[in-house]
Structure 1
């Protein structure tokens, strides 16, 4: 019976392989706009692997399609080669166009929600929405174009072309996270961070290491099955390659289960947090006539238990408000400081996102420097800790080449004239009375792997305040929340996330969500502060791990290519 079952399984795989081979030939044969359209659709479909869908099985189809389209592009480039041609350049250009269309589809589908921000004050910014929604994905797609072009220079039939693409795409994603201040949103490796056991691998190799792995894992199996059907002499080897490509998944799952079964560190003694999610409509946030009402709404909500009953913050040691909870200068507003002092019991601390200005004049703009800050205030209404955001959002919090662009009619989205200045870099620890050393992160500072901890001393927790109200009820806030979870796993640190309109949550050092307020939900969370774990491999070595894996992949590629040449 086992032999019969094995025979039936083999026959089924061969039939499947035959169908795949026919589909493979059809995709390779595409030319012109059809090839570009399929690349675009494959890229757009790949977003289903990200939050909030987590349908990463789609990559087992879209990644082989990308490989086959590059196959076709390389073959098309070869047809036009003459004695005076530059075959490598021609091949790179053809493949680069496929990479660009794939990337354009991926980023357009994954970042469409950026357009929501331009509708908050539609009378001022709506005209910019079509440009932001299309030009930003078009620019980011250049990284994928460069990756496909670079991979095409080493393109050979067989599994080595998959390795070349994995090396090129993972390097492109790393560059995307660093060039021009960086924007590592929806890096491909996030596909392998759900469910929770798989996420634990981020603590070993980081999100870029997972990106290096995701291409072979998802591209090789179907291509190997198609090869087994079309080339009987390589059937056994092809099936072995398909099985080996999938092997990292059960290994990562097993590691994750072991990691999750480890004893969890106890909560920090003597700390009781209250996270406040007010769900203030973004259109009201920066209106001067609404600032008083919004402020006292925060005050009133802070004094309620999760069930809505009033407790006057009894037993709460630290209250946390989201980013820009006070979109004015509270340190220069005595009435606000007095109200905070009246709200807080003796010994309780408020951590609030707020604007802050110092006495230094910006020579270029001729006004005081302003900061997007997280301010700790004690029960006397006095500041006892300040963190100024370091990694500002281009065009949202500051304008690159501001004097020039303002003459062209461009403005940043925040309501502070001239935009914000950047805080101290590298990011210092945020020292707050009653808390262990913490790392403060404002808004999208939590999406940068390897950069959430920049101080010489390791924090014991991460606090991320954000205002995702700009992006409405779209996929954007879900993606943002998930990326913050992965930072907790990478560093082995708990992460406390407080958002204006969601998603707020308490996340332990393994990425478990211990408490959560969903998108557009109004309320509070009462929670202890989870304990930190020992530093992970990634926390100790950062992207050096990715660099070592990348070099190992490059060595494997060169060995395979030399063997085939010989």
Structure 2
């Protein structure tokens, strides 16, 4: 369970020098015996328990969402905070079993473990829509300098190296021949840890030292954080008040002064900022037109929208969680519909069966949301670079941010982390968004209902933030994009090449004790 201290907001990543070797010792034999069926079963069990503790401690905040309407959903809380970790732990259990079956002493065994657990983490991010939260590789992105290596090999590449770096010192020292001195026993493992960390630090420092300077003529953005309590968000009697709050905040600068939005090219509101379907409310569109100067900024806002079809006798309706762009006339000039929906939050898997036993998704949208068309389109807004939109947890999926043929100059991530209270969840979400900016080499705007809103540059550095439950705005110029990093161009190709390299080393050191 203590392994989660390696991630945001604690960033105590050296803890993995202890916890990952413990995992390795638990699932591998003290002697190079052949893997028996019983030993593989034990490895699965030990890996599962490690995973359960890891995910239970890292995802406990999911339970906060069930307390927003505790009278309706509160009974599900104990199931959510135990069944989700139990399911995700199956990936660690399977990886532990495969590692035990393929284990070789020394360096070969460590590389086997690295490959197998990285594969498990990749599968966790893809199977059943995927949930790549707190991928092990994030432990190697704790600082701005460390984070830059994600632009080379991505978060899964960092995961591969994380297992090598964190397990080598203790595992190789323990496996060293008894006559070996302490220094000689630790030397190979320390080298396998220190050299990659040093190279990563050198690379990151070089990248940051060559980062482009801010452009004085860059478009300025106003990010609005209303901090509406989640319990009030969808109350019908609060709709007008919440909408007026957004209008009032937008009209004022970071000092709270009315400024006519002078010099602002883009305003960003959070996910589902308007607690109604704005395209069906002419009075809301008129208010937006009155707010925005004719030659002023575009408003990007989260909002719900529906498409109606079918026949008069059998009408149909599809609902979307959308990012809507409005011009100074209050007209919607661009729309992005969320593609990657949250299971049980925005749609109900196996809906007919689960609804029959009384379950419903947290949004309480009958029938759930529909997924938008793929690939993710780019938004073309006047006076702005090309924009790619991400809604809520779409920002946690590496390699899936940019899906269009053209490269964007800006990522806009709108979210509502108010579901999860003042916990580690929103802080982890912010950190993973920062890594997406590094992987793509594109600045990222984050507008969150209750925080943490931020302007993030193309190297993942925080330019400005509004903390949890703060109310206000961020006024910032858009940082420049950088040349597409290797990961943005090649995806996981370097990861694949690293795996091939590791496989060759496994074959080379398959019969040695410490390599």
TM-score, reference length from structure 2: 0.95
CA distance in 2, matches of 1:440, 1:300: 24
With over 3 angstroms needed to count, the CA separation of the structure-2 counterparts of 1:361 and 1:320, relative to structure 1, is farther
- After superposition, residues 477-488 of structure 1 pair within 5 angstroms as 477-488=426-437
| Match among 303, 325, 335 for residue 354 of structure 1 | 303
Distance 1:539 1:265, change over 3 A: farther
Listed one character per residue, the Cα deviations across residues 434-483 of structure 1 (whole Å, up to 9, x for unaligned) are: 21111100000000000000111111110100000000000000000000
1:228 Cα deviation from its structure 2 partner: 5.1
How many equivalent pairs are there?
Answer: 512
1:344 aligns with 2:301: no
* Cα gap change, 1:48 to 1:191, in 2 (>3 Å): same
Distance 1:229 1:150, change over 3 A: closer
- Contact 2:308 2:316 (C-alpha < 8 Å) held by counterparts: no
Aligned counterpart in structure 1 of residue 28 of structure 2, from 63, 68, 71:
71
Contact 2:168 2:192 in 1 (8 A): no
1:519 aligns with one of 457, 463, 468: 468
Task: Tell me, in whole angstroms, the C-alpha distance in 2 between the residues paired with 1:360 and 1:255.
Answer: 54
Aligned with residue 204 of structure 1, among 136, 152, 170: 152
SS in 2 for 1:126: helix
Give a deviation string over 1:10-43, Cα, whole Å, max 9, x none.
Answer: xxxxxxxxxxxxxxxxxxxxxxxxxxxxxxxxxx
Matched, 1:444 2:393: yes
User: Compared with structure 1, are the counterparts of its residues 519 and 233 closer, same or farther at alpha carbon in structure 2 (3 Å cutoff)?
Assistant: closer
| Equivalent-residue separation in structure 1 for 2:417 and 2:299 (angstroms) | 21
Q: Distance in 1 between matches of 2:462 and 2:181?
A: 50
**What are the within-5 Å matches in structure 2 for residues 265-284 of structure 1?**
266-267=214-215, 269=217, 271-284=219-232
The answer to whether the aligner puts 1:320 opposite 2:268 as a matched pair is: yes
SS at 1:553's partner residue? helix
Pick the aligned partner of 1:54 from 4, 11, 30. 11
1:489 alignment partner, one of 427, 430, 438? 438
Determine whether 1:426 maps to 2:383.
no
Secondary structure at 1:149's aligned position in 2?
helix
Q: Are 1:299 and 2:256 counterparts?
A: no
Distance in 2, Cα, partners of 1:291 & 1:420: 21
Cα displacement (A) at 1:150? 0.7
How far 1:109 sits from its partner (Å)? 0.1
1:561 is paired with a residue whose SS is coil
Distance in structure 2 (CA, Å) of the matches to 1:361 and 1:208: 44
Cα-to-partner distance string for 1:70-101 (whole Å, 9 max, x where unaligned): 135x77x97xx9xxxxx543332111111100
Distance 1:128 1:113 in 2: 14
Distance 2:416 2:446 in 1: 11
Residue 15 of structure 1 corresponds to which residue in structure 2? none
The alpha-carbon distance between structure 1 residues 158 and 340, as it changes in their structure 2 partners (threshold 3 A), is: same
Q: Which residue of 1 aligns with 2:74?
A: 126
In structure 2, what is the Cα distance between the partners aligned to 1:420 and 1:260?
Answer: 41
**1:182 counterpart residue number:** 130
1:389-428 to structure 2, matched below 5 A, reads 389-428=338-377
If you compute each CA radius of gyration, which structure gives the higher value, 1 or 2?
1
Distance 1:156 1:268 in 2: 57
Q: Give the structure 1 partner of residue 234 of structure 2.
A: 286
The structure showing larger relative contact order (alpha-carbon pairs under 8 Å, at least 6 residues apart) is: 2
Identify unmatched segments of 5+ residues in structure 1. 1-43, 82-86
Q: 1:93 & 1:362 partners in 2: Cα distance? A: 56
CA distance in structure 1 between the partners assigned to 2:56 and 2:424 by the alignment: 12
Name the CA shift for 1:231/1:455 in 2 (closer, same or farther; >3 Å). farther
Asked whether the 8 Å contact 1:268–1:529 carries over to 2, the reply is: no
Q: Is the 8 A contact 2:437 2:443 kept in 1?
A: yes
For 2:443 and 2:422, the matched residues in 1 are separated by 26
How far does the alpha carbon of each residue in 1:221-264 deviate from its partner, in whole angstroms, 9 at most, with x for none? 12334445834279636523322332100110010000000041
Offset at residue 559 of structure 1 (A): 2.0
SS at 1:441 equivalent:
strand
Question: Is residue 323–residue 353 contact of structure 1 (8 Å, CA) maintained in 2?
Answer: yes
What secondary structure does 1:232 align onto?
A: coil
Residue 137 in structure 1 maps to residue 85 in structure 2: yes
Per-residue CA distance 1:180-231 (angstroms, 9 max, x = gap): 1110000000000011111000000100000000111111112334445834
1:172 matched to 2:120: yes
Matches within 5 A, 1:115-264: 115-227=63-175, 230-232=178-180, 236=184, 238-264=186-212
Contact 2:308–2:317 under 8 Å retained in 1: yes
Deviation string, structure 1 residues 250-283 (Cα, Å, up to 9, x no partner):
1100100000000415438452210000000001
- Flag the 1:335–1:145 CA change in 2: closer, same or farther, 3 A: same
The match for 1:19 is: none
Indicate how the Cα distance of structure 1 residues 474 and 312 shifts in structure 2: closer, same or farther if over 3 A, else same.
same
Distance across 2 between alignment mates of 1:226 and 1:207: 29
Answer with 201-210 or 306-315: which moved more. Answer: 306-315
CA RMSD of aligned residues (A): 2.1
Match in the other structure for 1:100: 48
For the 8 Å contact 2:103–2:109, the answer to whether it is kept is yes
The separation in 2 between residues aligned to 1:229 and 1:555, in whole angstroms, is 24
Q: Distance in 1 between matches of 2:477 and 2:186?
A: 52
Name the CA distance, whole Å, in 2 between partners of 1:258 and 1:530: 19
Alignment of 1:85-96 (within 5 A): 87-96=35-44
**Which consecutive residues of structure 2, in runs of 5 or more, have no partner in the other structure?**
none
SS in 1 for 2:231: helix
**1:561 matched residue in structure 2:** 510
**CA offsets, 1:105-140, max 9 Å, x none?**
000000000000000000110011100000000000
How far the C-alpha of 1:291 sits from its partner, in A, is: 1.1
